Structure 1
Amino acid sequence: MTTDPPAGPRPRRRGAALEQAILDAAAALLAEAGYAAMTMDAVARRAGTNKNAIYRRWPNRAALGIAAYRRPAAAADLPDTGELRGDVLELLRRANRTWSSPSGDILRGLLAGARDDPDLLDRLQQQAGDGGSGMWLTVLGRAVARGEAAPEALHPRVATSAVVLLRNEYVTRGVPTVPDHVLTEMVDEVYLPLIRGRGTPPDER
């Protein structure tokens, strides 16, 4: 059951401050009671604003839900441990921490709501479509430059295969978090063998 904050006068907010309040309200509703509870009216009440202020920024509920999920995802420096295995493990650990945090609760609320909302489902698919391939391709590109992998490995589906495996644990198994030894298995038993099978590294030719 959701509870709105106590009513009372609030300072007038504009711009980024108002946008942040709206996103915070939407994220809280998603985490507490799921997508069905995240109506525009409920978000407006919790944020202390009106629906017009929301619609000026997001065209519909689905767009607002995706924005609320993405808001905590600040760009972080890519890991650079000096080896592909260490970099991939660190990226998986970061994703695992995110998906087992309140942000993960928000995502699960969106996924549940997507069953009855085609627009939300489409936006989620666009959001997750490349699995952050730019980040993973950068890490894999460094490995190619070090001679750990062949250039043939630089393919988005190959680069993101580890995070797809991790996502599968959450979506199909419904686990609250993935043990670290499972992350290690994903890297050692699936990801690295896949990378090594994509041609011969330059220093071995």
Structure 2
Amino acid sequence: MPQPKSRRHGAELESAILDAAWAELVEVGYAKLTMEGVAVRAGTSKPVIYRRWPGRPELVLAAWRRRLPDGEDPPDTGGLRSDLLALMHRLLHRFQDTPRDVVVGLMSETCRDPQAFALLLRQIAAARQRPSVEAIVRKAVARGEIPPVEIPPRVARVPLDLIRAEAIFHHREIDEKTITEIVDDVFLPLLRGLAHQELHEEE
């Protein structure tokens, strides 16, 4: 239900607008979301929203970014494979909490606006998983599961990139089998291959 208008300012007003934008996304989907609908739900006006976000893509990106988890500790189950599986489940839940059409709609619309598209790509790339991957691998090295290995940024992005590809581009449901295959058939062999390569270069 739309909230009555009040003299909210600054962070309080922005929070109300972003909450309203996310609620509209969940209720009507990206294609039907309008700035007017968000304004009504937030109990404010369209000019107030436009002073903060120049268009629908920027507003939706801000609402989406606000809901992404931040500062989570990496999984620590005592084993490399189980840690990676736990991380994959965390990434999967992140996608499941986002309406399916949001990323697809954003990519379609922002392709016509280079600045908005660049913002979308930066936000997707900014998912805080590289420190988690590096921490998981460091613990595995300390336990003697794998030799010391340097994790390039592109390698650290592989798990999330594969989930995105399955969910967004191939429209497939991500199940336990998919997660296990990504870990067992792709990421673990990739890590071990990098570790073996570094050992060979040191000889």
Q: 1:160 to 1:146 in 2, by over 3 A?
A: farther
Name the CA distance, whole Å, in 2 between partners of 1:104 and 1:138: 30
**3-state SS in 2 of match to 1:127:** helix
Is 2:122 aligned against 1:126? Answer: yes
* Counterpart residue identity of residue 85, structure 2: L
Q: Which sections of structure 1, spanning at least 5 residues, go unmatched?
A: none
Identity %: 42
Is 2:139 aligned against 1:142? Answer: yes
5 Å-filtered alignment, 1:25-104, equals: 25-75=20-70, 76-104=72-100
Is 2:149 aligned against 1:152? Answer: yes
Name the CA distance, whole Å, in 1 between partners of 2:7 and 2:101: 30
Which digits, 9 at most, give the CA deviation of each residue in 1:146-173, with x for residues without a partner? 3333443421112221221111101221
Q: Which sections of structure 2, spanning at least 5 residues, go unmatched?
A: none
Once the two structures are TM-superposed, the CA of residue 135 in structure 1 deviates from its matched residue by 3.0
Contact 2:29 2:99 in 1 (8 A): no
- Determine the structure 2 residue equivalent to 1:20: 15
**3-state SS in 2 of match to 1:71:** helix
Once the two structures are TM-superposed, the CA of residue 11 in structure 1 deviates from its matched residue by 4.3
Contact 1:34 1:109 in 2 (8 A): no
**3-state SS in 2 of match to 1:154:** coil
**3-state SS in 1 of match to 2:48:** helix
Contact 1:152 1:199 in 2 (8 A): yes
* Counterpart residue identity of residue 16, structure 1: A
Higher deviation after alignment, 51-60 or 116-125:
51-60
- Determine the structure 2 residue equivalent to 1:106: 102
Higher deviation after alignment, 64-73 or 124-133:
124-133
* Counterpart residue identity of residue 145, structure 2: E
Once the two structures are TM-superposed, the CA of residue 128 in structure 1 deviates from its matched residue by 1.9
Q: RMSD across aligned C-alpha pairs, in angstroms?
A: 2.8
Which digits, 9 at most, give the CA deviation of each residue in 1:64-83, with x for residues without a partner? 22111112213233211122
**3-state SS in 2 of match to 1:136:** helix
Name the CA distance, whole Å, in 2 between partners of 1:63 and 1:97: 23
Contact 2:22 2:64 in 1 (8 A): yes
Once the two structures are TM-superposed, the CA of residue 127 in structure 1 deviates from its matched residue by 1.3
Higher deviation after alignment, 107-116 or 17-26:
107-116
* Counterpart residue identity of residue 155, structure 1: P
Q: 1:199 to 1:147 in 2, by over 3 A?
A: same
TM-score (norm 1): 0.79
- Determine the structure 2 residue equivalent to 1:186: 182
